Amino acid sequence: DRGAHAILRALFYLKIGARVVKLFKNNLGRAAAHALMDWLVVTPIAVLELHLSHNFIPREGAVDILKAIAYNTAYPIETGRGRVLPLWLRLEQNMVVQPDELVKGADAQMKKIREASGQFVSSGPMLCECKDTGCRSDFCSLARPGGHCPLAQLTYLSHQRDARVRIPAEAQAWQVTREPKEEAARWRMQPAVSRDTTPAATPTNASSLAVDVAQADAGAAAA
């Protein structure tokens, strides 16, 4: 968790973007997922592929990441010549309980986030589950040129670790005994900034938007 947070903060402060991020098999837990949520909102370029399989990310961490994707208007990604693609997101072999229910709930929540920001939301799904449809990182069967495109493709999400598996200490940096908003603040890319002095969100100074995502998630956790 702490290592991933340090790497993401370095990328943020150096204003370095990445099209493909591979963090699979790295003992990541909720804290790393929360840091990724914050970074996904403020990274200067949209990530095309995010590989997080074979970690220990819980359901709450998956929710964090999906919320960030919904808040980032760079998704779906325009690749040129009228083509658009969802984020290729690998979250299999983590600790996401009831993954099928998560997809249904996340789809509805992501639509609400988009609608609240004044964006047009089609009736199509926000998430593609890549179920025997030929989907891959550079192709989504649900994407339509000039029409609907999901925000993310989830691969093999139903394949999760056994709930009895031992979670390593490296994946337990998130302190559940802290007040949720206080703990969330520990994993942001930078401290919260006063809204009176924060300029409009841009790819490199969108920390206020990231704070909105973090506060929304913390509020849900406390409910």
Residue 207 predicted with pLDDT over 50: no
3-state DSSP percent of the chain in helix, strand and coil, to 5: 35, 10, 50
Tracing tokens 């964006």 back to the chain, one arrives at 119
Asked if residue 192 lies in contact with residue 186, where contact means CB atoms within 8 angstroms, the answer is no
Rounded to an integer, what distance in angstroms lies between the CA atom of residue 153 and that of residue 6? Answer: 27
Tokens standing for 121? 């939301």
How far lies 90's CA from each of 26, 54, 115, 116, 166, in Å?
Answer: 14, 9, 26, 27, 21
pLDDT in tens, 145-192: 878 999 999 999 999 999 999 999 999 999 999 999 999 999 999 865
This prediction has a pTM of: 0.83
pLDDT in tens, 9-68: 999 999 999 999 999 999 999 999 999 999 999 888 899 999 999 999 999 999 999 999
The Cβ-side half-sphere exposure at 179, using a 13 Å CA radius, reads: 4
Instruction: Tell me what the pLDDT averaged over the chain comes to.
Output: 85
Asked if residue 132 lies in contact with residue 59, where contact means CB atoms within 8 angstroms, the answer is no
Residue 205 predicted with pLDDT over 90: no
Three-class SS state of 42 = helix
Most distant pair of Cα atoms in the chain: their distance = 50
Residue 213 predicted with pLDDT over 60: no
Tokens standing for 66? 């999906």
